[in-house]
Structure 1
Amino acid sequence: MALATTTDAVRAWTQGWAVSRGSADPVPQPWGVTIDIGLAQAVSRHVLFDRYASDEATVTKLVRPDAAPGTWVKFVEPPEAVAPWMPDNWEYDTPGHLMTLPLVPGTAAPDVPPGHTLRTWTRAGLTKVLVLAADGGLGVRGQVAVTGRTAVIDQVETNPLHRRKGLGTLVMRTLEACAAEQGAEDCVLGATDEGRALYTTLGWHRVSPLTGIFRPTPPSP
């Protein structure tokens, strides 16, 4: 299934993200979806599909000064497009990028570098990949959630001590291969600026910016 539009991509991303993070299923809304997360710092997340980002009535209803702490709103827009809606008591998350990749069945992952160990396991629809360094510590990790014909790669983390060794490429290609083996035809992810640089070299395409804003939770007394 090709992700023909930004809305297709962000819808697929929210479905897989919910599986990856163990949150509630996304609840469809007229303007996008709501995902209940249930953490003190992130109680719920509203994700606006692209055509609603400039709808003043919709945005101001979600982004209110009196919204509950731990409320998040995600836009497929750059920060400057979101700025007019920002109350003083909300904050920006790290800027991101929505990216997609068509999967090629049968693509093999690269060889594991000498001295490293690759492990994979799957629980409840979520596949995790871990590369251990020679000393047994974390090299790099990541996970992929397959929801039908699309998959979401999430929480890719590289130990700063083991960067520039090809481990990020190893994990990404392994996650992509795992997704293809489970029947996925397209992958989606939300990337940081640093991650975008790597993923672009691996053939990923940037669909749109991602801007998250949130009402922070007051510190404990």
Structure 2
Amino acid sequence: MESKISHSIVEKWLKAWSLSRKLPLPAQYKSGFRVEVGEENQKVRYVFPELNNDFLDLSKLINEPWIYLKVCASPDEVKNSVPERWEIQPPGYMMYCLGPMKNRGQALCEDYHLEYEKYNSTTVVKIIAENGELASTGRIVMVDDLAVYDRIITEEKHRRKGLAVFLMLELEKIALSNDICNNFLVATEDGKMLYESLGWKLYSPYISIVIPAN
């Protein structure tokens, strides 16, 4: 991966993010991108590959709540550069894996089975418990030569059973079946350790800011 954050990779990731959520595709906004999210607590998101004047100028213009500005930078880089009305959100981590992932051969626990769903360019893998509960779920979206992993969730009562590892490896199989071995995702603090255990590496810190409602 490049030492400088790739505008193209961020665009592909954001396109996949939008497809996964059935949202309009990102539109170019100066050196970054804009997505119309349309949710009560996230109206719009702007994403920038780097902390630059486009990002900083926008942070000065916006006074409306629930518009997110996101950038490939650390919290320390951002917090002293934007007006005080902006609230820094928990850090995220852009991560990549050129495959194959570690822990291959992980078996699915007894009393669970897999289900699949497809829409847009998205494949959803679900791990279902014996009682019909959704235990773990994740999505993979192929955009050109990039496989983007999204919304990887294991429900609390089904954790510590290896389901998340099995799920990631199932998603990887889908990428490989499309001859794609460039894997990308944005992790939370909690997810970062799991992905590192599978061989993923940090591409860039990723931070979000928002003006909360009064």
| TM-score (ref. length: structure 2) | 0.89
Equivalent position of 2:10 in the other structure:
10
Counterpart residue number, 2:136: 140
Alignment counterpart, residue 168 of structure 1, candidates 152, 164, 179: 164
> 1:71: Cα distance to partner?
1.0
Matched with 1:24 is: 24
2:205 to 186, 209, 212: 209
Partner SS for 2:57: helix
How many pairs does the alignment contain? 211
| Alignment-derived partner of residue 111 in structure 2 | 115
Q: C-alpha distance in 2, partners of 1:186/1:178?
A: 12
> Is the deviation greater in 203-212 or in 34-43?
34-43
Partner of 1:97: 93
Counting aligned pairs with the same residue, the percent is 26
Specify the SS of the correspondent of 1:17. helix
Deviations along 1:57-95, one digit per CA (max 9) or x if unpaired, are 323321136433221111111111001133232222221
User: How far apart are 1:27 and its partner, in Å?
Assistant: 1.4
1:115-170: CA deviation from partner (whole Å, max 9, x where unpaired): 11111121121111111123221211111111121121111111111111110001
- Is 2:27–2:34's contact at 8 Å kept on the other side of the alignment? yes
Amino acid at match of 2:139: Q
Maintained 8 Å contact 2:79/2:88: no
Is residue 2:26 matched to residue 1:34? Answer: no
AA matched with 1:111 = A
Structure 1: segments with no counterpart, 5+ residues: none
Match for residue 126 of structure 1?
A: 122
Correspondence for 1:152: 148
Counterpart in 2 of 1:76? 72
Q: Whole-Å Cα distance in 2 between the matches of residues 66 and 185 of structure 1?
A: 39
TM-superposed deviation, 1:32: 1.7
Cα deviation, residue 198, structure 1: 0.4
Cα RMSD of the aligned pairs, angstroms, is 2.2
Give the 3-state SS of the residue equivalent to 1:169 in structure 2.
helix
Q: Which residue of 1 aligns with 2:46?
A: 46
Report if aligned partners of 2:121, 2:141 keep a CA contact under 8 Å in 1.
Answer: yes
CA distance in 2, matches of 1:60, 1:204: 31
